[in-house]
């Protein structure tokens, strides 16, 4: 018998280009909470301030805002 425990959180280690782009996008498609961890405090601070994102990709700011609004990131 499979464990039917529901997945609630996913941790991304590294808020570089891959983690920071995939976590917001995935959070829009799921009710799972996504957390991003990085040892670079300056990078995390940029994400938390939400004024100037550390990376540019088309629509990233809008996707990130939406993920913050629904509370999955």
Of 2, 54, 39, 4, the closest CA to residue 24 belongs to 54
Q: What is the reported pLDDT for 6?
A: 77
Spatial contact of 50 and 24, defined as CB atoms under 8 Å apart: no
Which ranges of the chain have pLDDT less than 70? 1-4
Q: What is the reported pLDDT for 1?
A: 56
Q: What are phi and psi of 34, to 5 degrees?
A: -105, 130
In angstroms, the CA 1 to CA 15 distance is: 36
In angstroms, the CA 66 to CA 45 distance is: 19
Q: What is the reported pLDDT for 44?
A: 86
- Judged by DSSP in three states, 57 sits in coil
Q: In this structure, what token pair is assigned to residue 45?
A: 């601070």
């Amino acid at each position: 018998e499979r464990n039917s425990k529901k997945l609630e959180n996913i941790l991304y280690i590294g808020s570089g280009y891959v983690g920071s782009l995939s976590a917001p996008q995935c959070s829009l498609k799921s009710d799972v909470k996504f957390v991003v961890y990085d040892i670079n405090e300056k990078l995390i601070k940029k994400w938390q301030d939400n004024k100037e994102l550390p990376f540019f990709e088309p629509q990233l700011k809008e996707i990130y805002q939406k993920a913050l609004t629904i509370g999955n990131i």
